[in-house]
Amino acid sequence: MLKKLQVISMNLDFRELVLEDLSAIRKLSKSMDIRNDPKIGKTAGALIKDPKCLLYGAFEGTKLVGVGGLREKYENFAWIEDIRVHGKYQKKGVGT
C-alpha cells in the first residue's frame, strides 16, 4: 500500500521494496558518496529477504530517491536502519 507524504513541496510515495526493485536500489547506491557505507546496493537483497526487516523506498513518481529499513529486534521493539537518500534530495526531509 502506498502512503503519501508532503516533504518540502515534493509528493513522495512510500512502499515496501521487493527483489524487483534491486536495480533501482543499486542505481541509487551508485549515486551516493562515502555516507553510503555499507553500500545499500550490495546489502539490499539480503535485507529484502530477511523476515525481521522491512526495507522500504521513497519514490518521487517512479524514481527511487531514498530507502530505509525497519528491523524487529525483540518483541515490541524495532529500530530504523539503513537510511539512504539520493544527494539531490538530501536536507529536504526525505529521511525523516
Position 67 scores a pLDDT of 93
Map out the domains of the chain as residue ranges.
Answer: 3-89
Position 84 scores a pLDDT of 87
| pLDDT tens sequence for the chain (96 residues) | 555 555 555 789 999 999 999 999 999 888 877 666 678 888 899 999 999 999 999 999 999 999 999 998 888 888 888 788 888 888 888 877
Position 56 scores a pLDDT of 94
Of 80, 74, 86, which is closest to residue 54 (Cα–Cα)? 80
3-89 architecture in CATH? 3-Layer(aba) Sandwich (3.40)
